[in-house]
A = this chain, B = another copy of it.
Amino acid sequence: MFIHKKPLQFEAQPDRSDPLVAKYLQELIGGQYGEMSVAMQYLFQGWSCRADEKYKDMIMDIATEEIGHVEMLATMVARLLEDAPVEKQQTALEKDPVVGAMIAGMNPQHAIVAGLGPRPADSVGNPWSGAYIIASGNLLADFRANLNAESQGRLQVTRIYEMIDDQGVKDLLSVLIARDSYHQNQWAAAIKELEDQEGTILVPSTFPRDKERRDIAYDFYNFSEGEASKDGRWASGKALDGEGDYHYHTKPKVEGKEPKLKPVTPKMYGTPKDVK
């Protein structure tokens, strides 16, 4: 169960209206790594959590914070659109090149569909998708998804920070960047804690390793000419899971044969078998 608190956690007030900046911020609302994604991802992970109570509580705390992040960004987008040049655009575009560029660059759905409000979509207008998120039932796997999401997310916020000039928007982005810093620190800590307890970096940790082909489980296969790929931590020395040594093969191992498929029933009306 959730309760709404009316104040925003942090302020969301731009210096001035700007529909292009509004379009960019949509990436942080409804993009693959936007706040809708982390909010929903953490909610589904929390709701499915079968592990120790502290994990569920921690995940739900952060999920709940993230819904508030969508709220701050949605408010900011609504304000950035407030004075967008939406009327008689054909005349306006011809009169002033700056207004013309605004009109050309604006997301038309911000006006036509949302009446100058935010959209559940990314910066090019793709609607947010449940396919962006993951809740697998394995927390180590999912915390890696989370660390990735917070890494991509902070990266995107810093880029927008440099792309714009509006100090009010930047103030909100400074908050989001800081929270993404914490969340990277936080998922990294939770990952470390789980790896230590599970005794391996491999997900899932409990699959019996004698059921996998361990003889090929530490091999790097060079699938190109030249061996630049040999010069990395992944190509030699002790593997990070502590159970084997990396091995670099200059050519891929090949065990299989050229596959020949049998024909299927002619009632599937595939290519007739007497065709050469």
Contact of A126 among B125, B177, B275 (CB under 8 A): B125
Q: How far is the CA of A36 from the CA of B127 in the complex (A)?
A: 14
Within 8 A of B (CB), among A5-60: 5-12, 18, 20-21, 23-24, 27, 30-33, 36, 40, 43-44, 47-58, 60
Task: Jot down 5 A-B pairs with beta carbons below 8 A, ordered by A.
Answer: A4-B60, A31-B109, A57-B224, A112-B156, A113-B136
Q: Output the least CB separation between A156 and chain B (Å).
A: 5
- If A101-B101, A136-B113 touch, does A50 touch B163 (CB 8 Å cutoff)? no
Task: Check A256 against B11 for contact (C-beta < 8 Å).
Answer: yes
**Could you list 13 further interchain pairs (A-B, Cβ under 8 angstroms) beyond the known A139-B275, A189-B239?**
A3-B64, A4-B224, A8-B256, A9-B252, A48-B118, A50-B262, A50-B271, A52-B275, A64-B223, A93-B98, A94-B98, A147-B148, A152-B203
Looking at A94, A178, A246, the one whose CB has the most chain B CB atoms below 10 A away is: A178
Q: How large is the interface on A (under 10, 10 to 19, 20 to 34, 35 or more residues)?
A: 35 or more
Task: Map CB proximity to B onto A69-96 as digits: 1 under 8 Å, 0 otherwise.
Answer: 0111011001101110011111101100
Contacts of A115 in B (CB 8 A): 48, 136-138, 155, 159, 264, 268-270
Task: Check A120 against B40 for contact (C-beta < 8 Å).
Answer: yes
Q: How far is the CA of A207 from the CA of B266 in the complex (A)?
A: 9
- If A1-B68, A111-B159, A178-B214 touch, does A8 touch B257 (CB 8 Å cutoff)? yes
Contacts of A181 in B (CB 8 A): 202, 209, 212, 217, 241
Task: Check B213 against A174 for contact (C-beta < 8 Å).
Answer: yes
Within 8 A of B (CB), among A231-276: 231-234, 239-241, 244, 246, 252-276
Task: Map CB proximity to B onto A187-229 as digits: 1 under 8 Å, 0 otherwise.
Answer: 1111011100110011111110101111111111111111111
Task: Map CB proximity to B onto A109-139 as digits: 1 under 8 Å, 0 otherwise.
Answer: 1011111111111111111111111111111
Contacts of A260 in B (CB 8 A): 53
Contacts of A188 in B (CB 8 A): 201, 240
Q: How far is the CA of A29 from the CA of B216 in the complex (A)?
A: 21
Contacts of A233 in B (CB 8 A): 189-190, 192-193
Looking at A57, A107, A276, the one whose CB has the most chain B CB atoms below 10 A away is: A57
Contacts of A122 in B (CB 8 A): 109, 125
Q: Output the least CB separation between A150 and chain B (Å).
A: 8
Q: How far is the CA of A39 from the CA of B72 in the complex (A)?
A: 17
Task: Check A165 against B88 for contact (C-beta < 8 Å).
Answer: yes
Lowest 5 A-B CB distances belong to which pairs? A115-B137, A104-B105, A124-B125, A8-B256, A48-B117
